[in-house]
Amino acid sequence: MHESVKNFYDLFAQEEIITHKAVNNLIYNLIPELSYREHYKNLLIKVTEELKLKGYSEETQKSYLGHIRRFLLYSNKDSNLLSKEDIRKYLMYLLDEKEKSHSYANQVISAIRFLFINILRKEIEIFDNILRPKKEHKLPDILSSEEVQRILNSVKNVKHRMILLLIYSAGLRVSEVVRLKLNNIDEDRMLIHLRQAKGHRDRYTILSPVALKSLKDYIRIYQTKEWLFSGEKEENHLTERSVQKIFEVACFKAKITKKVSVHSLRHSFATHLLERGIDLRYIQEILGHQNSKTPEIYTHVSKKSIANIRSPLDSLEIN
């Protein structure tokens, strides 16, 4: 019985298991180490409250909570006994066994650091010898204009097509498009006003005349009231996962073989602007990048700067 109960809890380690109090006591007496998981629930409630109080975005809150929950379950000990060695062991597990990226490991360190400093009130020096893995310098897969056209044309659902149109036409993040409201659309100035986007910053991006025409048709058909793209319940906006699924289905129908995500539409938007001669500084402003170095990645994937370079092979006479 001991082994069966433990296997059950391990199988659903990432889920919340609700049992009767009497059953809890029986299980915790049988397997004492499982009692930590009840302690973790209370700890995660404190983490949630602290993240909200410090003004972290919904996306960051969700990410940090996930990382902290997985770290605690892996360590499986009283949180007050967690040490530098537990952090290092978990990071090695992620990199070696789970084969997670260095970027992922850096997110984990940030989340665990938040837990230790803001919740457990442990000394900051505990992170002194924990080096952050170097970030991999990966170039994003860019969709050609023809591929974007195939994707958009493959979507017949008016709402789904409108979402993808706006993402590509304005370089929006998924988190931004699902939170669009009617009052974000400035038709007179042909701009989209994004309020409190990533980094709690307002910004404007362009409103395409083609997108606006489709948007008017969409609003007329769906009779939108507040959220442009409401979820199952009208008072809630569509989830980000729903948009990702819409894009995945569209790529399948359009026979796109590149390893792309819905965020690739934003990357493609920026790259296509650069290829049309738009200054990188304006692209930075439209995308909402605070670091001026970030948009420079598009110079590495732009066919304008690469495809026009002739290979030395072209000057040879080859039979």
Answer yes or no: do 156 and 256 share one domain: yes
Answer yes or no: do 13 and 42 share one domain: yes
- Residue 139 belongs to some domain of the structure: no
Write the CATH number for 187.
Answer: 1.10.443.10
- Residue 275 belongs to some domain of the structure: yes
User: What's the whole-number mean pLDDT along residues 221-250?
Assistant: 90
Percent of the chain's residues with pLDDT above 90: 27
| Residue with more model confidence, 176 or 318 | 176
Answer yes or no: do 157 and 109 share one domain: no
> Is the pLDDT confidence value at 309 over 60?
no
Answer yes or no: do 299 and 180 share one domain: yes
pLDDT at 229 (0 to 100): 93
- Residue 69 belongs to some domain of the structure: yes
Q: pLDDT confidence of 205, banded at 50, 70, 90?
A: confident
Domains in the chain: how many in total?
2
pLDDT at 311 (0 to 100): 40
Q: Which domain holds residue 61?
A: 2-127
| Residue with more model confidence, 8 or 67 | 67
Answer yes or no: do 91 and 223 share one domain: no
The verdict on pTM exceeding 0.75 is: no
User: What's the whole-number mean pLDDT along residues 1-23?
Assistant: 55
Name the nearest CA neighbour of 219 among 231, 209, 208, 230: 230
| Residue with more model confidence, 248 or 25 | 248
Answer yes or no: do 155 and 268 share one domain: yes
- Residue 14 belongs to some domain of the structure: yes
Residues labelled as active-site residues: 173, 198, 263, 266, 289, 298
Write the CATH number for 40.
Answer: 1.10.150.130
Lowest mean per-residue pLDDT among 79-88, 205-214, 299-308: 299-308
Q: pLDDT tens digit string along 220-231?
A: 999 888 899 988
